[in-house]
């Protein structure tokens, strides 16, 4: 028997300032009620480095003119910029009947499944959340759980300027190579990939989506 799917509102937000979206995620999580429908936010950010709770200053090599934001997610430092799909799952884990490990696994599998559409074999790594292709990182993952509800999430590199990753040790790993989908599939379309990501996310985490473009 197929598992029963729960509704989720998918918001495609376009390009928004990182701190505005971070603030909105926290507000949503702090004010949500027991019957609040879960949401998935898809967004691009202007250039920004974000440093997680475990972040160490030595992993910020030369941020230069790109702002650094200290945030409340897990993990180390990463970069967000135009051409990257950022997906924020705002889920009541207890109500949905999953734990943090299952959420992480489901998000990683979502990206792995999207890449399989392009005949790209991807994998996860033990103790290094994210998705990798031949050892190179194509998607980063960092979550915050508050009151059994998730926010923050996934950054999937599609067609962006990767040079800022050279200014940091990505996710705290010196020498880690960061790649993007267009390096492997030159004619990939970010909007198509975003729709594939939504579909795969809902399948892997047992949601039925209700897309909307309403701003946060």
* Residue 55 marked as a ligand binder: no
- Does 144 fall in a domain? yes
Residues 6+ away with beta carbon under 8 Å from 43: 13, 14, 15, 16, 21, 86, 88
* Residue 141 marked as a ligand binder: yes
- Does 84 fall in a domain? yes
Residues that are catalytic: 171
The reported pLDDT for the residue numbered 178 is 97
- Does 185 fall in a domain? yes
* Residue 54 marked as a ligand binder: no
How many domains, the chain? Answer: 1
Is pLDDT of 193 > 90?
Answer: yes
* Residue 78 marked as a ligand binder: yes
Question: What's the whole-number average pLDDT of the chain?
Answer: 92
The residue-averaged pLDDT of 199-214 equals 83
The reported pLDDT for the residue numbered 162 is 97
Q: How many CB atoms lie within 10 A of CB 47?
A: 15
Is pLDDT of 215 > 70?
Answer: no
- Does 1 fall in a domain? no
Confidence of residue 176 (pLDDT cuts 50, 70, 90): confident
Q: What percent of the chain has pLDDT over 90?
A: 81
- Does 208 fall in a domain? yes
- Does 93 fall in a domain? yes
* Structural domain of 55: 6-212
Is pLDDT of 146 > 60?
Answer: yes
Beta-strand runs (E) in the chain: 6-15, 38-44, 48-51, 68-70, 77-80, 84-90, 123-125, 128-133, 136-146, 149-157, 207-212
* Residue 142 marked as a ligand binder: yes
- Does 149 fall in a domain? yes
Is pLDDT of 214 > 60?
Answer: no
Q: Is the pTM of this model over 0.85?
A: yes
The residue-averaged pLDDT of 14-27 equals 97
- Does 188 fall in a domain? yes
| CATH code at position 26 | 3.30.930.10
């Amino acid at each position: 028997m197929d598992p029963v799917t729960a509704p989720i509102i998918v918001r495609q937000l376009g390009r928004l300032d990182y701190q505005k979206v971070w603030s909105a995620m926290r507000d949503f999580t702090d004010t949500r009620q027991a019957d609040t429908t879960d949401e998935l936010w898809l967004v691009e950010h202007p250039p920004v480095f974000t440093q997680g709770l475990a972040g160490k200053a030595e992993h910020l090599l030369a941020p230069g003119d790109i702002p650094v934001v200290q945030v409340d997610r897990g993990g180390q430092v990463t970069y967000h910029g135009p051409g990257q799909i950022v997906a924020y799952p705002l889920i009541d884990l207890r109500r949905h009947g999953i734990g943090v490990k299952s959420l992480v696994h489901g998000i990683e599998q979502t990206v792995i499944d999207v890449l399989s559409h392009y005949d790209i074999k991807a994998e996860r790594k033990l103790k290094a959340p994210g998705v990798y292709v031949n050892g190179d990182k194509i998607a980063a993952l960092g979550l915050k759980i508050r009151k059994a509800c998730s926010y923050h999430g996934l950054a999937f590199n599609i067609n962006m300027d990767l040079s800022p990753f050279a200014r940091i040790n990505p996710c705290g790993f010196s020498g880690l190579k960061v790649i993007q989908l267009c390096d492997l599939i030159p004619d990939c379309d970010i909007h198509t990939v975003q729709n594939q990501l939504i579909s795969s996310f809902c399948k892997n985490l047992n949601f039925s989506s209700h897309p909307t473009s309403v701003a946060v």
